[in-house]
């Protein structure tokens, strides 16, 4: 494993990447950190309090009054411009994702490509916002189905996909006539600032109304304020199951609309007839991608006893060969977990497994 870059070098690089995306150098009380060294990347803005949330919802509500009556293809043109800017800044934003979230370079770039792809998809949707026409029992009449924008949408995202999840929600919300308030993960604030800078540039290019995308930084209290706010029509929250259990009753209690993307407890089953070469590759890829921090990461393996020993041997060799280290270095396949508490939880899980009679085969 090659030596890690110095924290000063990483902080300087983050500042350069932010500037490349048009975000400038943020100030404020909040800070950003890199999991590569655990050190600071600098300031990341101020935490939003209840008053800031109220102001942001008010601005979004004013924007909604204009945006909801804007023709769908015109709304799609804004998202098309966002996609073009993402293409132009793919390298810079992808590298910033790696610096702040610890993803290997290909994953950082791949995440930005997902943003570009959803923009392309949403632009097409902007010309297909149509409803059904339905036969009526009354002569000379037909029923018409019309879809209406909902209103300001809150998008709460997690560190493991710090930019793609925002784009999946925002691109579709915007072409459907809805402003977005983005509560980014407090573990990855700089990527949110970079994305918003690109969005604001696109909005200015097409003379879109102000307030269509706003970033609200801070911890869980900001997400809680958005979930409880009567001015938020739709809440889309990505995070832990615990977070979902907290958010769901709050939104339901005010009859809001809710989309949840939560954690998983994913299993693979290996039967006696399985292709063990394919199984080994699939298991290793699913378990170690993004350092095992995806909601889709493999967590449980159910193996027939007749192939158990051979599969364990294969997995031991596969895991032992995985290059771990600086996520931006050539050849690295696994970068760091997001922070020290995440590392501690991994160690605790291993300790519990061995205490219950499990054997640590590799690691």
pLDDT digits (tens, 9 = 90+) for 64-109: 999 999 999 999 999 999 999 999 999 999 999 999 999 999 999 9
Q: Is residue 1 part of a domain?
A: no
Q: Distance between CA atoms of 260 and 144, rounded to whole angstroms? A: 31
Q: What is the dihedral of CA 183, 188, 80, 113, to 10 degrees?
A: -140
Q: Strands, DSSP E only, in 31-190? A: 31-33, 40-43, 133-135, 142-144, 153-156, 180-183
Residue ranges making up the domain that contains 288? 266-355
Q: Distance between CA atoms of 185 and 192, rounded to whole angstroms? A: 9
Pairing relation of β-strands 213-216 and 40-43?
unpaired
Question: pLDDT confidence of 252, banded at 50, 70, 90?
Answer: very high
Quick one: 197 and 328 in the same domain? no
Quick one: 46 and 124 in the same domain? yes
User: Given 261, 284, 317, which residue is the final one in a domain?
Assistant: 261
Question: pLDDT confidence of 185, banded at 50, 70, 90?
Answer: very high
User: CATH no. for residue 155?
Assistant: 3.40.605.10
Quick one: 219 and 324 in the same domain? no
pLDDT mean over 230-257: 97
User: Given 221, 239, 261, which residue is the final one in a domain?
Assistant: 261
- Candidates 66, 341, 350, 59; CA nearest to 186 is 341
- The phi and psi torsions of 189 (rounded to 5 degrees) equal -75, -30
pLDDT digits (tens, 9 = 90+) for 31-53: 999 999 999 999 999 999 999 99
At 363 the pLDDT is 78
Active site residue 153: no
User: CATH no. for residue 273?
Assistant: 3.40.309.10
Q: Distance between CA atoms of 247 and 183, rounded to whole angstroms? A: 14
Quick one: 185 and 331 in the same domain? no
Question: pLDDT confidence of 1, banded at 50, 70, 90?
Answer: low
Question: pLDDT confidence of 2, banded at 50, 70, 90?
Answer: low
Q: Which residues contact 346 (CB under 8 A, 6 or more apart)?
A: 292, 337
Considering the chain, what percentage of its residues have pLDDT values greater than 70?
Answer: 99
Active site residue 107: no
Quick one: 61 and 157 in the same domain? yes
At 3 the pLDDT is 81
Quick one: 91 and 114 in the same domain? yes
CB-CB contact of 79 with 73 (8 Å): no
pLDDT above 70 for 112: yes
CB-CB contact of 244 with 260 (8 Å): yes
Q: Which of 84, 261, 310, 348 is catalytic?
A: 261
Q: Is residue 215 part of a domain?
A: yes
Quick one: 215 and 162 in the same domain? yes
Quick one: 173 and 45 in the same domain? yes
Q: Which of 91, 295, 310, 359 is catalytic?
A: 295
Q: Is residue 309 part of a domain?
A: yes
Q: Is residue 134 part of a domain?
A: no
At 24 the pLDDT is 86
- Candidates 119, 95, 101, 100; CA nearest to 21 is 95
Quick one: 44 and 189 in the same domain? yes
Quick one: 201 and 164 in the same domain? yes
Higher pLDDT among residues 3 and 252, named by residue:
252
Quick one: 59 and 152 in the same domain? yes
Q: How high does pLDDT run on average in the chain? A: 96
Quick one: 170 and 287 in the same domain? no
What is the number of other CB atoms lying within 10 angstroms of the CB of residue 132? 9
pLDDT mean over 186-199: 98
DSSP string, 257-306: EEEEE----EEEEE-TT--HHHHHHHHHHHHHGGGG-STT-EEEEEE-TT
Q: Which residues contact 345 (CB under 8 A, 6 or more apart)?
A: none
Q: Is residue 113 part of a domain?
A: yes
pLDDT above 80 for 199: yes
How many domains does the structure of the chain reveal? 2
pLDDT above 80 for 361: yes
Q: Is residue 112 part of a domain?
A: yes
């Amino acid at each position: 494993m090659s030596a890690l870059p110095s924290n000063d070098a990483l902080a300087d690089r983050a500042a350069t990447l932010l500037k490349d995306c048009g975000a400038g150098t943020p100030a404020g009380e909040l800070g950003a950190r890199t999991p590569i060294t655990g050190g600071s990347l600098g300031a990341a803005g101020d935490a939003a309090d209840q008053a800031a949330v109220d102001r942001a919802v008010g601005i979004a509500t004013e924007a909604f009054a204009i945006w909801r009556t804007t023709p769908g293809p015109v709304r799609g043109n804004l998202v098309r411009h966002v996609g073009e800017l993402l293409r132009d800044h793919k390298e810079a934003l992808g590298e910033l994702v790696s610096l702040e979230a610890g993803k290997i370079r290909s994953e950082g770039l791949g995440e930005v490509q997902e943003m570009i792809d959803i923009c392309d998809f949403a632009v097409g949707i902007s010309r297909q916002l149509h409803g059904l026409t339905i036969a009526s029992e009354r002569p000379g009449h037909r029923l018409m189905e019309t879809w209406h924008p909902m209103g300001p949408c809150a998008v709460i995202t997690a560190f493991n996909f710090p930019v793609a999840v925002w784009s999946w929600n925002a691109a579709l919300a915007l072409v459907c006539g809805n402003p977005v308030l983005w509560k980014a993960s407090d573990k990855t604030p700089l990527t949110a600032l970079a994305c918003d800078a690109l969005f604001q540039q696109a909005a200015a290019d097409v003379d879109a109304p102000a307030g269509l995308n706003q970033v609200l930084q801070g911890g869980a209290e900001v997400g809680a304020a958005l979930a409880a706010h009567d001015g938020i029509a739709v809440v889309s929250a990505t995070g832990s199951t615990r977070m979902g259990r907290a958010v769901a009753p709050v939104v339901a209690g005010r009859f809001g609309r809710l989309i949840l993307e939560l954690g998983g407890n994913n299993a693979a089953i290996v039967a006696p007839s399985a292709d063990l070469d394919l199984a080994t590759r699939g298991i290793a890829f699913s378990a170690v991608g993004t350092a095992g921090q995806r909601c889709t990461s493999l967590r449980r393996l159910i193996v027939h006893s007749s192939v158990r020993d051979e599969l364990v041997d294969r997995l031991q060799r596969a895991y032992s060969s995985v290059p771990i280290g600086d996520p931006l270095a050539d050849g690295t396949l696994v970068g760091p977990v997001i922070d020290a508490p995440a590392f501690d939880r991994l160690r605790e899980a291993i300790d519990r497994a061995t205490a219950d009679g499990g054997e640590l085969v590799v690691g």
